[in-house]
């Protein structure tokens, strides 16, 4: 299935992920899994697709470009575990986020 959206050139592809799901839901055409490329996926989009529409969003998440990831020292995003059910991040030492 394909959903087509035409926008002005300054709109980034990732901005359309939520809109695509909303429009597919209106037509009762949502898939259980949606495989997309990295231009359409982010952790926030993965979470919203599951929470709002029950869709599993599959695709490569954009690489971590933080200073820690580039330097190979400290903790980058990949070092943390996300507990989606409890809405917490868990650091490599086991401490959980408070917000």
Residue 92 has pLDDT above 80, yes or no: yes
pLDDT at 22: 92
Distance between CA atoms of residues 33 and 57, nearest Å: 6
- Confidence check: pLDDT of 61 > 80: no
Structural contact between residues 44 and 21, judged by C-beta atoms closer than 8 angstroms = no
């Amino acid at each position: 299935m394909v959903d087509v959206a035409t926008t002005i050139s300054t709109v980034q592809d990732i901005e359309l992920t939520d809109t695509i799901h909303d429009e597919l839901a209106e037509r009762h055409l949502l898939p259980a899994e949606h495989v997309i490329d990295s231009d359409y996926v982010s952790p926030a989009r993965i979470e919203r697709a599951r929470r709002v529409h029950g869709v599993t969003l599959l695709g490569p998440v954009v690489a971590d470009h933080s200073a820690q990831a580039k330097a190979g020292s400290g903790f980058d995003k990949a070092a943390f575990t996300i507990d989606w059910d409890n809405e917490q991040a868990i650091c490599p030492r086991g401490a959980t986020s408070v917000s």
